[in-house]
Structure 1
Amino acid sequence: MSSSKFRDLSAGSKSLIIIEQILFAGALFLAVYVNSTLNIIDLQPMADSFLLLYAVIFALINQLSSLALGLYNSKLRENYRGIFRRVLLSVSVAFFSATIINPFFGSSVLPIEVLAIASLFSVLLVSSFRYFTFKVDFFGLSKSRVLVIGSGERAAIIERRMRRDVDRQDFSIHGFVVMTGDSPDGIKEETRIHLDSSLVDYALAHDIDEIVVANDERRNNLPVDELFACKIRGIEITEILDFIERETGQIAVNLIYPSWVIYSNGFASNNHLRNTLDWFFNAIMALFLLLLTWPIMLIAVICIKFTEGLDAPVFYKQERVGLDGESFNIVKFRSMRLDAEKHGAQMASENDNRITKVGHYLRKYRIDELPQIYNVLRGDMGFVGPRPERPQFVQQLVKNLPYYNERHNVKPGLTGWAQLKYPYGATEADSLEKLKFDLYYIKHRGFLLDLLILIRTVEIVLFGKGR
């Protein structure tokens, strides 16, 4: 995936990264200065260039930890207390990581006490800066002004799906231009504009940065010449499907038409090296995860046996639909009662009374998913991809949801884009929403997006979010 498509981080988030990189590096310099001034601990003489390198590495470790905990997510919905908690946890994780790699610096190594002081300064500097950005919309200055052509059903998707300020961090909607053929039941709350002058003159007079084409009726009803004139004057022209995809990280399934899928970039993986090494990469990751998590799995087995009896089964197998629609048996820790499906297959709900006491914690922190390492080693699944569903549900969803079967063009995964972006869901409407994110992943999948999903899954696990 090219860097132009890698758009999960907003312009404001990128500015945060640069500023906080300076703050983290500055915290280390400040710690060294305070230590030398107060003689807290003796330090070996260190060249300025090496200290600069040390500070850059310290900053990168802290920022990787911040990314893993969602602090650079432009749509992070947290109050300041929640943000401070994440800053504190991310700096703690970074300090632990820094102490592990610290001995590799050799004779010029910084004492752990200095790293601890630097971490303390990091919390103070970054949390203070975050408080400032939380109270003052400092990064809203770079918002682009967007004019939407259309005020009907297609345009109303913007009003419904991007109605909150957090959804419009990178842009502001100037208004919706009423076009012939638009549904009268479209835009309800936003500004409706009846153009008396040409589109070009209006856009230039109101400093419009981008025009989104979203009218309901396009045949012989699209001002092509005026849009072209706007384009050559530096105004970005964007189709509503591409606009929603860019700003929300999902594809609006109800707006898709076949020619858009055929002619748009993405959806096809032409990276033969990636395809060849896919299983090898997933197998190495699976073995590493197994070495890391076997104590947790052992505790899970003991808890299940202790609460439900020695004869109670620990694992259960369930048929799921995988790559190219082929079925396989998924392996998980059992988190529901033995009679959970005595009335037939049904989707799990958020507060499902069939879930056992131990199962509640297994599901919340995704421990129940760990036995799927076996499925990854078998090649049934990868680490990243759409979550596999049961055949009974797939048959119904394929009939009712357009393009649902496209999920099976890639290998299913332990975690995915939809699991990061959408909360727990158990209805057909929820399946539609997750499909929008799955199609986005299928279109844009690549190493960088997979890496981002893996890193941010840490946030899901630690905070017990998502599904």
Structure 2
Amino acid sequence: MIRIFNHYVSLTILFIAFGDFLILTGTFLGIQAIGDSSQSLSRSIGSIAGTPSILLASLITGALGILSLFISGLYDFTHFTDSKEFKIRLAVAIIMIFFFTEMIHILFSPPHPKKYLHIIAVFISIVILAIWRTAAVNFRFKGSTEKVLFLGNAHIAKILSEINLQRNNIAVVRILSQEELADFDLADFISKNTVHRIVVAMNDRRGKLDIPRLLHCKMSGIKVCEWGTFYEIHANKIDIMSINPSFLIFGEGFRQPKVLRLIKRVLDSLMALVVLILTIPLFIIVAIAVKLESPGPIFYSQERVGRYNKPFHIYKFRSMVTDAEKGNSPVWAKKNDSRITRVGQFIRKTRLDELPQLLNILKGEMSFVGPRPERPVFVKELEEKIPFYSQRHIVKPGLTGWAQIRYEYGASIEDALKKLEYDLYYVKNMSIFLDIMTIMETVHVVLFRKGSR
């Protein structure tokens, strides 16, 4: 794993994405070279590569191709095990690459008689990408597995399943409980087994951990880290139930420089304004559909908790029957909730019900990316039952968020705890890069209709 602007990214994925970028960029240059029949291929490529507009177009094509593959979920290798789902995602990626390539071709390419040649070239690039990815995954995984020894917490065995060990090139050598550590010879074990990293998962280490031997392992080249750090890097979330407050206090992160907040606010406002203008037709269509299906208002307003626990009113398209909670205390939305209308089910699945929150972003009450804004009555309950829950309110809530794209819709205390693990990861590692990653994954989630209720 490598840290890019506070966010941990798999080296394998970066390695494959870089190869994808070179293939897609080279494809566009090849299109122009083959289309220029007046020169030899080598001279044509040289002259075209030296043309600023064509070179820029090639780089944009490569970047948009990476975006297409990312949105389609083709950098998540867990989808490769399901043949049907993989074919659907691949088809979506090909369509997007075709669309982007055609647009770039129209905007940047000089006219020539072989104007459809780039379509054939896209097919060729898809074949090359498939060959490259197969070879890259096989070679990358061979001989690069990190063998890890875990010390001191049986809780690890249960939640290790949440980390994709194969994708992260991790092999578990052994998991030792605190009871086993009392009679365990660390030096002898290391001498007989290959260990690249030792992960210490003990909240109380006094008198229970062989510090001199652990220090010797560190000085001998074996990596040593705490469980909280290991889990954060490989799961992209924070294990709330295993960490001490000191992990959050003394660890890196939780920095919110004024420059970052200013850039984030400017980008939020610009994006909200652009998206609002582009989605005006959708606003009209959804408003008519909501009004025709059931009587009542088109929009729905509800009090939520914002940054520093400041209350504000969120705006949404109404997706439930009117007075859904009349006479009842507030309840979590559940799967197959009878209060949700047919139109409501559709706009929730596609996230169209949240479009009016663009107004909250323009008002400065929300951001594009951040923790989901929750209702005051639920916040009070969750703060009493879940450690560190209040820390999610040190940033603005978001239209989308790291927890919202990584975990299904929360409908219980347990769900809220799981989502908080992702929220704290975002708050701890907040950056423009992580916001971009979140927005791209949001497009993927909306496209494949995952996670809403």
The normalised TM-score by structure 1 is 0.86
1:417 aligned to 399, 402, 417, which one? 402
The reply to whether residue 87 of structure 1 matches residue 90 of structure 2 is yes
Give the counterpart letter for 2:290 in structure 1: I
TM-superposition CA deviations, 1:212-235 (whole Å, max 9, x none): 001354112221111111111111
Partner of 2:432: 447
Partner of 1:232: 219
Gaps of 5+ in 1: 38-42, 183-192
Larger deviation: 229-238 or 52-61?
52-61
Q: Would you say the 8 A contact 1:148–1:213 is kept in 2?
A: yes
Partner SS for 1:383: strand
Residues in 1 aligned to 2:338 and 2:80: alpha-carbon distance in whole angstroms: 29
Q: Residues 129-278 of structure 1: matches in 2 within 5 Å?
A: 139=141, 141-150=143-152, 155-163=153-161, 166-170=164-168, 171-180=170-179, 195=184, 197=185, 199-215=186-202, 217-269=204-256, 271-278=257-264
Give the counterpart letter for 2:174 in structure 1: G
Partner SS for 1:352: coil
The reply to whether residue 321 of structure 1 matches residue 305 of structure 2 is yes
The reply to whether residue 289 of structure 1 matches residue 275 of structure 2 is yes
1:25 is displaced (CA, Å) by 4.2
Partner SS for 2:174: strand
Partner of 1:188: none
Q: Would you say the 8 A contact 2:17–2:66 is kept in 1?
A: yes
Partner SS for 2:164: helix
Partner SS for 1:142: coil
Residues in 1 aligned to 2:4 and 2:223: alpha-carbon distance in whole angstroms: 19
Larger deviation: 9-18 or 387-396?
9-18
Q: Residues 65-84 of structure 1: matches in 2 within 5 Å?
A: 65-73=68-76, 76=79, 79-84=82-87
TM-superposition CA deviations, 1:442-463 (whole Å, max 9, x none): 0000111011101111101111
Aligned residues: 441
Q: Would you say the 8 A contact 2:304–2:375 is kept in 1?
A: yes
1:251 is displaced (CA, Å) by 0.6
Residues in 1 aligned to 2:284 and 2:350: alpha-carbon distance in whole angstroms: 15
1:93 is displaced (CA, Å) by 1.6
Q: Residues 24-43 of structure 1: matches in 2 within 5 Å?
A: 24-25=24-25, 27-28=27-28
Q: Would you say the 8 A contact 1:332–1:371 is kept in 2?
A: yes
Partner of 2:6: 5
TM-superposition CA deviations, 1:156-208 (whole Å, max 9, x none): 333222227834422110002343488xxxxxxxxxx963x4x2443243221
1:303 is displaced (CA, Å) by 1.2
Change in CA separation of 1:420 and 1:109 when aligned onto 2, cut-off 3 Å: farther
Residues in 1 aligned to 2:374 and 2:162: alpha-carbon distance in whole angstroms: 32
Residues in 2 aligned to 1:281 and 1:301: alpha-carbon distance in whole angstroms: 27
The reply to whether residue 353 of structure 1 matches residue 343 of structure 2 is no
Partner of 2:48: 50
1:31 is displaced (CA, Å) by 5.9
Gaps of 5+ in 2: none
Change in CA separation of 1:437 and 1:208 when aligned onto 2, cut-off 3 Å: same
TM-superposition CA deviations, 1:395-434 (whole Å, max 9, x none): 1001000110111110000000001211233111000000
1:98 aligned to 101, 110, 117, which one? 101
Partner SS for 1:107: coil
Q: Would you say the 8 A contact 1:66–1:72 is kept in 2?
A: yes
2:413 aligned to 398, 409, 428, which one? 428
The reply to whether residue 119 of structure 1 matches residue 117 of structure 2 is no
Give the counterpart letter for 2:147 in structure 1: R
Residues in 2 aligned to 1:330 and 1:164: alpha-carbon distance in whole angstroms: 33
TM-superposition CA deviations, 1:256-300 (whole Å, max 9, x none): 21222111111121x221223432221111001112222122111
Q: Residues 345-424 of structure 1: matches in 2 within 5 Å?
A: 345-424=330-409
1:279 aligned to 242, 248, 265, which one? 265
Q: Would you say the 8 A contact 2:239–2:421 is kept in 1?
A: yes
Identity %: 34
Residues in 1 aligned to 2:271 and 2:329: alpha-carbon distance in whole angstroms: 35
Residues in 2 aligned to 1:410 and 1:87: alpha-carbon distance in whole angstroms: 36
Residues in 1 aligned to 2:89 and 2:171: alpha-carbon distance in whole angstroms: 29
TM-superposition CA deviations, 1:229-255 (whole Å, max 9, x none): 111111110101111111111111112
Residues in 1 aligned to 2:149 and 2:208: alpha-carbon distance in whole angstroms: 17
Q: Would you say the 8 A contact 1:99–1:112 is kept in 2?
A: no
1:102 is displaced (CA, Å) by 2.9
Give me the CA root mean square deviation: 3.0
The reply to whether residue 301 of structure 1 matches residue 287 of structure 2 is yes
Residues in 2 aligned to 1:35 and 1:173: alpha-carbon distance in whole angstroms: 53
1:438 is displaced (CA, Å) by 0.2
Give the counterpart letter for 2:273 in structure 1: L
Give the counterpart letter for 1:100 in structure 2: M
Give the counterpart letter for 2:108 in structure 1: F
Q: Would you say the 8 A contact 1:103–1:109 is kept in 2?
A: no
Q: Would you say the 8 A contact 1:316–1:331 is kept in 2?
A: yes
Give the counterpart letter for 2:315 in structure 1: V
Partner SS for 2:355: helix
